Structure 1
Amino acid sequence: MMNIRIVRINDEAMKSLHTKEILRSLPEWFGNEKALCEYVKNVAKLPYWIALNQNESSVGFISVKIHYGNTGDIYVFGVLPEYHNQGIGKKLLASAAEYFRQNGCKYVIVKTLSEKARYEPYERTRKFYTRAGFEPLITLTEMWAEENPCLIMIKKFD
Structure 2
Amino acid sequence: MMKIKLIEDYDDKQKIARQILEALPEWFGIDEARENYIKESTDQLFFAALDENQVTGFLCLKETSKDTLELSVMGVLKEYHRHGIGKELFLNAKKLASEIGYTFLQVKTVQMGHYEEYDNTNHFYLSLGFKEFEVFPTLWDEWNPCQIYIMSLR
Normalising TM by the smaller chain, what interval? over 0.9
Tell me which stretches of 4 or more aligned residues in structure 1 moved more than 3 Å: none
Task: Report how many residues are paired.
Answer: 154
Normalised by the length of structure 2, the TM-score is 0.96
Question: Percent of counterpart pairs with the same letter?
Answer: 34
Q: Which aligned pairs between 1:69-80 and structure 2 lie closer than 5 A?
A: 69-80=66-77
In structure 1, the gaps of 5 or more residues are none
Q: Does residue 22 in structure 1 map to residue 41 in structure 2?
A: no
Task: Name the SS for the 2:42 alignment partner.
Answer: helix
The Cα of 1:16 is off from its aligned counterpart by: 0.9
Quick one: distance in 1 between partners of 2:34 and 2:98? 28
Greater shift after overlay, 101-110 or 74-83? 101-110
Normalised by the length of structure 1, the TM-score is 0.93
In structure 2, the gaps of 5 or more residues are none
Please report the RMSD computed on the Cα atoms of aligned residues, expressed in angstroms: 1.0
Q: Which aligned pairs between 1:12-91 and structure 2 lie closer than 5 A?
A: 12-54=10-52, 56-91=53-88
The match for 2:5 is 7
Does the CA-based 8 Å contact 1:69-1:104 persist in structure 2?
Answer: no
Does the CA-based 8 Å contact 1:139-1:151 persist in structure 2?
Answer: yes
Q: Which amino acid aligns with 1:146?
A: E
